[in-house]
Amino acid sequence: MGALAVNKRARFDYFLEGFYEAGISLEGSEVKSIRNNGLSLSESFVQIVDGEVWLKNCYIHPYSNASSYAPNPRRNRKLLLHKREIKKLISLTKEKGYTLVATKVYLKRGLVKVEIAIAKGKKNYDKRQALKDASIAKEIQRVLKRS
């Protein structure tokens, strides 16, 4: 199955270098909500606190058919990684300019997984160049399609 949610801003705002797959700790009906495309990664970010990796500010829409208990839609969710992966991420993020970004959420064998990336921020001129390259590629495809 394809991605349930993709953070398109991540590729525009950052140079993505290394990718990791992490499980996510969810409560109650959050899995059903995610399966119904009730997830938004647009403003979310990943942070390491006390040797644990957390997905912060990720919005999961409350499931409409749930019982009376509904978790906070913007609560912090723990990402599940091996200790050696966490240690590697800690050492990489201590380097100047590197951060962790959630790039997409998908299902793998019935489990919700989050793809996180080691990223370095782009400058404004890098973003303008990316837009220029995309428009040139689009124009080339348009010309090739006509011929």
- Which domains can be identified in the chain, with CATH numbers? 3-122 (2.40.280.10)
Question: What are the tens digits of pLDDT across the range 10-61?
Answer: 888 888 888 999 999 888 788 888 888 888 888 888 999 998 999 998 888 8
Q: Which helix (H) or strand (E) holds 58?
A: none
User: What does the alpha-carbon distance between residue 118 and residue 84 come to, in Å, rounded to a whole number?
Assistant: 15
Q: 60-68, long-range: CB within 8 Å, 24+ apart, which pairs?
A: 60/26, 60/30, 60/33, 60/34, 61/33, 61/36, 62/29, 62/33, 62/38, 63/28, 63/29, 63/30, 63/32, 63/33, 63/36, 63/38, 65/29, 65/32, 66/28, 66/29, 66/32, 67/29
Report the share of the chain in percent with pLDDT over 90: 28
Count the residues in the chain.
147
How many alpha carbons lie under 13 Å from residue 119 in its C-beta half-sphere?
22
Q: How far apart are CA 85 and CA 92, in angstroms?
A: 11
3-7, 19-23, 60-64, 140-144: lowest mean pLDDT where? 60-64
pLDDT at 96 over 60: yes
